[in-house]
Structure 1
Amino acid sequence: MAAFRSAFDAGEMRTEFEKAGIKSTFIPFIWKQLLHDSNNLLNQNMASEFQWEKAVPSLPSATYSLLRSKFKPLTSTVNTVVDSSDQTTTKLLIKLQSGAFVEAVIMRYDSRLGKYGDKPRPGGLRSTLCISSQVGCKMGCRFCATGTMGYKSNLTSGEIVEQLVHASRLFQIRNVVFMGMGEPLNNYSALVEAVRVMIGSPFLLSPKRITISTVGIIHAISKLHGDLPGLNLAVSLHAPAQDIRCQIMPAARAFPLQKLMDALQEYQQKSQQKIFIEYIMLDGVNDEEQHAHQLGKLLETFLVVVNLIPFNPIGSSSQFKTSSDEKVSAFQQVLRGTYNIRTTIRKQMGQDISGACGQLVVSQTNRISGKQTTVLPDIEDLHL
C-alpha cells in the first residue's frame, strides 16, 4: 500500500483536488480546521482512520473520500520532547512515516531583556523554531554532527510544515529558521513550497521572520529572491579564503568563494536586504587576526551581519578546539573597528540537551543501533 501524503503537502493536495474537480480554495480552510483543535488532531491521527468529516465539516462530499484515500492530517509523530534546564530551549525528535528521525528546536527569548543593561525594552516573549529540511546532509562539514550522518533523504514539503505544526502545539512560533538538519537549498522545491504555506493562511508568518541558511549553493541563491522575496538569507561562510573553507567544509570545492560572493552581491542588489554571515570560531584554523582582516575585506562592500559562533566540541575525538574568549573578542573588534561591520557573538542555548541541531537525532540513532559514538555539535541554531 502506498504511503499517505501529509495534508500539509500543498502541491500534492492541489494536484489531487484539481484531478477530482474540487476547488483548491478549500485547502487553507482544511489546514485552519486541523490547526484549530491541534490536540484533537494529534489524538485522532493515532487512530486507524482519521475522522475527516468531524475534524473538517462543511466540505463537498467528494472531498472526504479523497482525503481518506490519499492523505493523513500528520504523517509524522513527536518521539521525544526535551527541555533545557533553563527552560529556554525545547528540542523535538520527530519520527517520519519512513521511520527516519529529524529534529526541530524551539528557542525562547525575552526581547525586553539583555541588550541594554537594566533599561527595559519594548517587546516580550518570542519563540524561534529551527527546522530541518533533510534527513542527514551531504555537505559533510567537519564541525557538524549532522554531517557525520551522511545524506539519507529529502523531506517533503508537508514533512517540513509538520515541524511547525508540532511546535505550535507547545508555543506560539514567531520566527522560523531553516538551520536544522540538512542543506535547505539542496531540497529547493520542497523548501519553496513549505515556506509559501507558512506565509499563507492560516499560518501567516511574516516573510521577514523566516531565515534560510545555506553553505552557499550558488545556482539556488541566484533564484531564491525571485521565488521567495522578503526572506532572510544566512550564509555559513566559516572562512575568509577558499583553501580554509575546503579544509573544514569539503562541499565548498563545488562552490568557489569568489563565485559565491558574486552570487551574494547579485542577491543583495535584487533584494536590498542585509545578509547574515555565520562564522564558527575554530582555534588556530580561522580565528587569527589575519583571518579577521581577510573576512573584513571580503565583506566590506556588503550590508551584512556577521555572527561569530563559539565552537562547542563534544567528547575528546573532535579535531577542532574552541577559540578563546579573547580571540573571539579581538576578531570582533577588527570587523567592527576597522571595517565597520556589524558583528555579534552567538549566545549558546540548550547545551545540556544537545541543543545544537543535529545532536539529539544522532545520539538517538546511535542508541537505537546500540552504537556508542561521540558526535560533534551542529552549530546551525542561529539566534536572529
Structure 2
Amino acid sequence: MATYRSVFDAAELRAQLNDAGINTKFMASIWKYVLQNPGCELGEIPDLPSSAYRLLRTKFKPFTSTVHSVFHSTDGVTTKLLIKLQNGAFVEAVIMTYDTRLGKYGGKPRLGGPRSTLCISSQVGCKMGCKFCATGTMGFKNNLTSGEIVEQLVHASLLTNIRNIVFMGMGEPLNNYTALVEAVRVMTGSPFQLSPKRITVSTVGIIHAINKLHSDLPGLNLAVSLHAPVQEIRCQIMPSARAFPLEKLMTALQTYQKNSQQKIFIEYIMLDGMNDEEQQAHQLGKLLETFQVLKSIQNQQ
C-alpha cells in the first residue's frame, strides 16, 4: 500500500515542487484551498501549473490523519479529538474554550469574548517517563511528521476558531525538533497567520534544543516542566532529568531569556510528600529569583 505525505508537510512539499521546477509560491494557495474545502481532492485545486496536479496526486493527500472520535466535556469547556494517523497509531488533541469576559481586570469588566486554545501532540508516546504523565507510561512509539502536527490544527479549526496553540499534548516537542520547527513556521505563515506570541512549547528541559529555539522560532513562548527545585527530587519525578542537570538547565534558561526578552512559563505539579514542603517552596523562590517568569502550580494528591 502506497504511503502518501501530508500536503501540510512543508519541507516535503517544497522539495517536490522544487524538483519539478514548480514555484513554491503555490504552497500557500494549496493549503488555503484545502482549509476551505476539507473534503476536496488535490486535483480540484484551481490555478496550479499542469505539472503540479500529477505530483500532488501521486505523492500527497489533503489529510493523512482522520478524526476517529470527538469527546465533549459535560461543562462544554473542553473537546478531545482522538486522531488516527496513517500508520494506525492514535494521538490526542484537545480544544479548551474560555471566555475572557469572565471576571474583572483592574476593577473593570474585561474585554474580549470566547476564545479557543488547542493542545497539540508532537509524538506517539514519549520516552521521558515522567511519573505524573499518562503518556509517559506508553513509552516512545514514533515522531509525528510536521504535516501530522499541522493537521491537528486543521482538524480542530473545522470545529472552532483556534486562537492559541500549546504543545502540551502527547510527547516531548523538543525531541521532535525539526518537525516542530517546520510545523510552527507553517502555522505562523499564510494562510494560518497565527502569531508566535500565541504559541507555547512545553518541555522537560532539553538543553541543547532550548539553546537554539529562539533563533529558529523567535517570539515563541517557552514553558518548562520544572516540578522540583533540586536535582535529586526532580530525577525522582522525571527520570529524564538525569540527562539535563538543573544547574545547566537554569543557565540555558537564563541565556534564552536574555536573548528573547520574554518571560518563561514555569510549570510545577505539587506531589503529596515529594515536592510540596515549605522548604521546597523557599528553594523554588531562590532558584527563580533572577528570572522573569509566569508560574503554573497544580496540586496532585
Q: TM-score range by the shorter chain?
A: over 0.9
* Deviation of 1:52 (Å): 2.2
* Deviation of 1:140 (Å): 0.2
Distance 2:287 2:113 in 1: 36
Distance 2:20 2:107 in 1: 60
Secondary structure of 1:171's counterpart equals coil
Alignment counterpart, residue 193 of structure 1, candidates 140, 158, 182: 182
* Deviation of 1:276 (Å): 0.1
TM-score by length of 2: 0.98
2:6 maps to 6
Gaps of 5+ in 1: 45-50, 312-321, 323-384
* Deviation of 1:118 (Å): 8.4
Distance 1:218 1:305 in 2: 20
1:226 maps to 215
Distance 1:140 1:117 in 2: 42
How many percent of aligned residue pairs carry the same amino acid? 74
Instruction: Give matches, 1:1-384, under 5 Å.
Output: 1-38=1-38, 41=39, 44=40, 51-54=41-44, 56-114=45-103, 116=105, 119-311=108-300, 322=301
Does the CA-based 8 Å contact 2:103-2:110 persist in structure 1? no
1:351 maps to none
Distance 1:117 1:14 in 2: 48
Tell which has more relative contact order, 1 or 2 (C-alpha 8 A, sep 6+).
1
Higher strand share: 2
Distance 2:210 2:67 in 1: 32
Distance 1:139 1:233 in 2: 18
Measured against aligned partners, the alpha-carbon deviations of 1:298-354 in whole angstroms (never above 9, x if no partner) come to: 00000001110122xxxxxxxxxx1xxxxxxxxxxxxxxxxxxxxxxxxxxxxxxxx
* Deviation of 1:246 (Å): 0.4
Distance verdict in 2 for CA 1:118–1:266, change over 3 Å: closer
* Deviation of 1:129 (Å): 0.1
Distance 2:4 2:266 in 1: 39
* Deviation of 1:116 (Å): 4.8
Does the CA-based 8 Å contact 2:103-2:109 persist in structure 1? no
1:361 maps to none
Tell me the number of residue pairs that the alignment of Structure 1 and Structure 2 aligns: 301
Gaps of 5+ in 2: none
Distance 2:117 2:198 in 1: 9
